[in-house]
Amino acid sequence: DVQLLESGGGLVQPGGSLRLSCAASGFTFRSYAMSWVRQAPGKGLEWVSSISGSSTVTYYADSVKGRFTISRDNSKNTLYLQMNNLRAEDTAVYYCAKGWVGPTNNWFDPWGQGTLVTVSS
């Protein structure tokens, strides 16, 4: 079974930093693009960032470009999201998902259980 397990969420002050991790199992991690999607409390889904299997291509939503960095360690089957200069509007549950945002295979499946990031003073 494919499993994705996020960690690293928590409470952080505005302007602070946080690194999320997503441990993957049940599939050949290095062969698949991975993504982060977030959901603010009571709101809809918002794509955040995606990375290719070999890390050569990364994409970001305009709302996080320049503040967030996606990366992966294929030797550890782990996906990361480094979040800097956090703002109140970044408060959300962050999901990692197997999937890509390019013009092929443009869907997310499966998703992890999510980790909550709260940005507040």
Which chain residues interact with other proteins by CB under 8 A? 37, 44-47, 50, 59, 61, 95, 101-103, 106-114
CA atoms of 105 and 100, how far apart (whole Å): 6
The two most distant CA atoms of the chain are separated, in Å, by 41
| Region of residue 103 (left: phi > 0; alpha: psi -120 to 50; beta: else) | alpha
Neighbours of 53 (CB within 10 A): 16
Nearer to other proteins, 53 or 110 (CB): 110
Nearer to other proteins, 80 or 95 (CB): 95
The CB-of-6 to other proteins minimum distance in angstroms stands at 10
Nearer to other proteins, 44 or 75 (CB): 44
The CB-of-114 to other proteins minimum distance in angstroms stands at 6
